[in-house]
Amino acid sequence: MNMIRTAMLLAFMTALFMGVGYLIGGTGGMTIAFVIAAGMNLFSYWNADKMVLRMHHAREVDERTAPEFYRIVRDLARNAGLPMPRVYIIDNPQPNAFATGRNPQNAAVAATTGLLQRLSREEVAGVMAHELAHVQNRDTLTMTITATLAGAISMLGNFALFFGGERNNNNPLGFIGVLVAMIVAPLAAMMVQMAISRTREYAADRRGAEICGQPMWLASALGKIARGAHQVVNPDAERNPATAHMFIINPLSGQRMDGLFSTHPNTENRIAALTELAREAGLTGTGELAGGDPAARGPWGRRSMGGRTGPWS
């Protein structure tokens, strides 16, 4: 199903490229746009994850350079039955995280220094379990390609002002066509981000809770991240708004309020869903990785949603 959705997304964005190209340069512009779109689709499949990580200045870490964080991801991946992803840290005070990669064998997870500093170990585990759920559900390919191509569409709309509207460029609508391209292209990029259904976040929340065994770890983390995102501006995200839908919480909310065109579901609704999930599973406490009630420690304690036990090494 995800492959069909990805194919439909690529087809739509290719058509959008061609439409904007036609508005800017007529049939010649449409042909050039088609060639560019086809090349970007192919390039995005193989390289979009690297581009997104580079946009946010993510640095790869291992068990030597970030031992505790790396071990959290390793143990969660093992519990989910996933290959070990590459692990990145982003030097950014805003608490946030995302996953990327075209498949589980080529996945990467990234967390900001703000997240690692503000959240408890249990909350970090809940967040990374959510990101690994995106990897397991194969959302990451669609999310990463959308981030790359939506940004390119927005740039194409900006280029329209400088390269469109001349009488000799075969543009049938002239400057009106350029204005339409300038307005429609950024709006379409926003709509494409929305097209990546908000329900994928609820699904990742639920699966993430199953992976870590404690829904309230993630529920607590979401509240802290949402508050932090409103308080701390993320400059890299502001420069690359097409990547906003990849984060666990909208990184643009420091300046832009959540609303009808948000790329994420309402945080309070997500927390409520996780709280209900915990109640149904009989896990009413938050649990702890060290200390606390050992019967509520998720997959590393005696009782969990997944029923697994093992050390938190």
Query: Which residues are tagged catalytic?
Result: 131
DSSP state of 218: H
Scanning the structure block, which residue is given the tokens 């997500």? 270
Taking the C-alpha atoms of residue 120 and residue 122, their distance in angstroms, rounded to an integer, is 5
* Phi-psi sector, 111: left (phi>0), alpha (psi -120 to 50), beta: beta
| CB-CB contact of 163 with 23 (8 Å) | no
| CB-CB contact of 222 with 202 (8 Å) | no
Q: Where are the beta strands (DSSP E) in the chain?
A: 58-61, 86-90, 97-100, 108-112
**Among the listed residues 115, 83, 81, the one whose alpha carbon sits nearest the alpha carbon of residue 98:** 115
Q: Which residues contact 14 (CB under 8 A, 6 or more apart)?
A: 34, 37, 38, 41
| CB-CB contact of 72 with 115 (8 Å) | no
Measured CA distances, 58 to 47, 68, 133 (Å): 15, 18, 21
